Chains A and B, each alone.
Chain A
Amino acid sequence: MNLLDTKLDRFQRQAFLAGTLALLISLVGALFNREHFFQSYLVAYLFWVGLALGSLAVLMLHHLVAGSWGFVIQRFLEAASRTLPLMILLFLPLLLGLHELYPWTHQEELQNPVLQHKTAYLNVPFFIARAFIYFFAWLTFAHFFNRWSWRQDQGEFLTKRMQLMAGPGLVAYVLTMTFASVDWVMSLEPHWYSTIFGLKFVVGQALAALAFSVLVVALLSKRQPLAGSVSAQHSHDLGNLLLAFVMLWAYIAFSQYLIIWSGNLPEEVPWYLRRTAGQWTLVAVVLILFHFASPFLLLLARLTKRRLGTLMKVAVLVLLMRLVDLFWLVMPAFYPQGPVLHWMDFTVWIGMGGIWVAIFLKGLKARPVLPLNDPRMELQTAHAG
């Protein structure tokens, strides 16, 4: 256990150092190419805030249904949701880049009558106020679920309360995330709209959080104190959940495509035209093949799901594809001719991720790696024999 702690300590320090370094390099890059810095920053931000929020969502789902799979990843989800204060801090730089990112902040764009009608919603003060509301809601739920879980470790009985709050919490999360995705991503192309867009983010975040939990549980499962607590059945359940969310993501992505393709309207179609222009088609095909087809086929097989090591590889693929998906959703707004890769796309992601991982590990080490005193958990372990 001590050995693992020293290892985690070292990894935490390295991650923090690498993160800070990468962010500093990116800041230098920002001096030369301010626009691309903010574009890379938005993609990276959506990825890491997605992990934190998806973890909060899966955590609430777990409190609601209490499957045995949830108990082995509960502490990872909690630690990831406790990175939300960091993500609020990292949101602030985005406010400096609103003019670079969002066309509805430009005076000349507002000559357009359609956008004029949207100014009641799309204006800077209201944008910031809304972000404040989202963060307030997310922080509240993250705070209480973490505190109650911690108090339950001390011997109180709060399972019922957490179960009761999980339902409303999930509803609040889906609503706020829907609005957040409209604000932060959809409004990059303010003429375009899609009602299923928010759900695509909700599902993508839950998928990313599950994949991340699988990765962490696979890395830690062979060592104390987790060794022996993770069974093939747990791995199987997590694999099934990954499969379900991979399918749900494809279902939603395709629904949006089918509806816009059928309608064939001039306000809607350009969004896809930009995302299939030039080399963007290649990115789209990569998404179909590696965000849906290959994880789907791999996860159909029982053997993939029952071996944590194999499942972890699929999870890494899914995490990688989450980043590609966000890149494909955001970047064509600025580069409609084809993808333009910049070194800052990597450094900002690494920078933010390094610091995020360090905070995550710090939170993870602060508490026992399995929750204590949950009566439902004892029931599950007794049942699994």
Chain B
Amino acid sequence: MAEFESPDDLLKAVRNAREAGYHKMDAFTPLPIEGLAEALEFHRIELPPIVLVGGMIGGVLGYALQYYISVIAYPVNVGGRPLNSWPAFIPVTFEVTILFAAFSAVLGMLALNGLPQPYHPVFNVPEFALATRDRFFLCIEATDPQFDTVETRGFIESLHPRHISEVPH
């Protein structure tokens, strides 16, 4: 794992590592950095469909709830309007759609991220505490097919990081 002092150094390092053929790596930063996700080949498209489906389920449930209440459970005549008065049902349907979409977004994000994650090997490195303050870390994982303890260390040194540490796991 390499420690850098600025976002630009990290971004450069990530791009170099990818050119060198590494794919299984992760970056840790105290702030969001533009272009980092793209540099890490991180394009997820799983979340939007989950939110869409969640929202649609919410919409159907919201409408069904009102239909059940006003048509089946309590069929009350209000001012001669039909029992299934769809214009009046739209606001609640809309709200429940948003509610379910928001829940699917949060829960789906957590599930896809693998959060909450109480243990991660990088925490074994003492300097890693700085990742929440002013240091930028790049971690090349041992599961990468190109990973080799000596060679990878040599490669990381060529990036001129401030500090290199091996993550025990």
Q: Is A385 a contact partner of B91 (Cβ separation < 8 A)?
A: no
Q: How far is the CA of A385 from the CA of B32 in the complex (A)?
A: 14
Complex contact A384–B34 (CB within 8 A): yes
Other-chain residue from A254, A264, A384 in contact with B79 (beta carbon distance below 8 A):
A264
Q: Does A302 contact B (CB under 8 A)?
A: yes
Interface residues on B, range: 10 to 19
Question: Within residues 24 to 45 of chain B, which ones have a CB less than 8 A from any CB in chain A?
Answer: 34-35
- By a CB distance below 8 angstroms, the chain B residues around A302 are 48
How far is B48's CA from A261's CA once the two chains are assembled, in angstroms? 35
Question: From residue B87, how far is it (CB to closest CB) to chain A in Å?
Answer: 5
Nearest CB of A to B59, in Å = 13
**In the complex, chain B residues whose CB is within 8 Å of the CB of A262:** 87-88
Which residues of A are found within 8 Å of B90, using beta-carbon distances?
254, 258
B79-A385 in contact (CB<8A): no
Q: Which of A240-273 contact B (CB under 8 A)?
A: 254, 257-258, 261-262, 264
| Chain A residues, CB < 8 A from B164 | none
A300 to B48, CA, bound (A): 10
**A117 at the binding interface (Cβ < 8 Å):** no
B48 touches A257 (CB 8 A): no
> CB-nearest residue of chain A relative to B45?
A302
> Would you call B131 an interface residue if the criterion is a C-beta within 8 Å of the partner chain's C-beta atoms?
no
Contacts of A254 in B (CB 8 A): 90
Contact B79 A257 (CB under 8 A): no
Interface size class of A (residues with CB under 8 A): 10 to 19
Pick from A261, A300, A383, A384: contact of B87, CB under 8 Å: A261
**Most central of B48, B87, B88, B91 by chain A CB within 10 Å:** B87
Which residues from A are CB-within-8-Å of B52?
300
For the complex, what is the distance from the CA of A254 to the CA of B87, rounded to whole Å?
A: 9
Closest to B35 in A: A385
Nearest Cβ on chain B to A260's Cβ, whole angstroms:
10
Complex: A258 Cα to B87 Cα, angstroms = 6
Contact B34 A258 (CB under 8 A): no
- Chain B 81-93, CB within 8 Å of chain A: the 1/0 string? 1000001101100
Q: Which of B34, B79, B88, B91 contacts A383, CB < 8 Å?
A: B34
Query: Do residues A385 and B87 form an inter-chain contact, with CB atoms below 8 A?
Result: no
Across the A-B interface, how many residue pairs have beta carbons closer than 8 Å?
A: 18
Q: Which residue of A lies closest to B51 (CB)?
A: A300
B48 closest partner in A (C-beta): A302
CA distance A300 to B91 in the complex (A): 20
Q: Are B79 and A258 in contact (CB under 8 A)?
A: no
Tell me the complex Cα distance, A302–B48, Å. Answer: 9
Complex-state Cα separation, A300 to B90, whole angstroms: 20
A385 touches B34 (CB 8 A): yes
Which residues 276-295 in A have Cβ within 8 Å of B in the complex? none
| Across-interface contacts of A258 in B (CB, < 8 A) | 87-88, 90-91
Contacts of A385 in B (CB 8 A): 34-35
Q: 1/0 per position for B105-118, CB-CB distance to A under 8 A? A: 00000000000000
Which residues in A have their C-beta under 8 angstroms from that of B34? 383-385
Are A257 and B35 neighbours in the complex by a CB distance under 8 Å?
Answer: no
Q: Which of A289-309 contact B (CB under 8 A)?
A: 300, 302
In the assembled complex, which residues on chain A have CB atoms less than 8 Å from the CB atom of B48?
302
Hey, which chain A residues are within 8 Å of B91, CB to CB?
258
CB distance from B89 to the nearest CB of A (A): 10
| A236 → B minimal CB distance (Å) | 13
Q: When chains A and B are docked, how far (Å) is the Cα of A264 from the Cα of B81?
A: 10
CB of A382 to closest CB in B, whole Å: 10
Residue of B nearest to A261 (CB): B87
* Shortest distance from the beta carbon of B31 to any chain A beta carbon, whole Å: 12
CA distance A384 to B52 in the complex (A): 29
Residue on B with the closest CB to A300? B52
Chain A residues contacting B81 (CB-CB under 8 Å) are 264
A262 to chain B, nearest CB (A): 7
A 348-385 contacts with B by CB, 8 A: 383-385
Give, as a whole number of angstroms, the nearest-CB distance from B6 to chain A: 14
What residue in chain B is nearest A251 (Cβ atoms)?
B94
Residues of chain B with a CB closer than 8 A to A384's CB: 34
Query: Which residues from A are CB-within-8-Å of B88?
Result: 258, 261-262
Given A257-B87, A302-B48, A385-B34, 10 other A-B contacts at CB below 8 A? Answer: A254-B90, A258-B87, A261-B87, A261-B88, A262-B88, A264-B79, A264-B81, A300-B52, A384-B34, A385-B35
Chain B residues within CB distance 8 Å of chain A: 34-35, 48, 52, 79, 81, 87-88, 90-91
A-B contact pairs, 18 of them (CB 8 A): A254-B90, A257-B87, A258-B87, A258-B88, A258-B90, A258-B91, A261-B87, A261-B88, A262-B87, A262-B88, A264-B79, A264-B81, A300-B52, A302-B48, A383-B34, A384-B34, A385-B34, A385-B35
* Nearest 3 A/B pairs, CB to CB: A261-B87, A258-B87, A385-B34
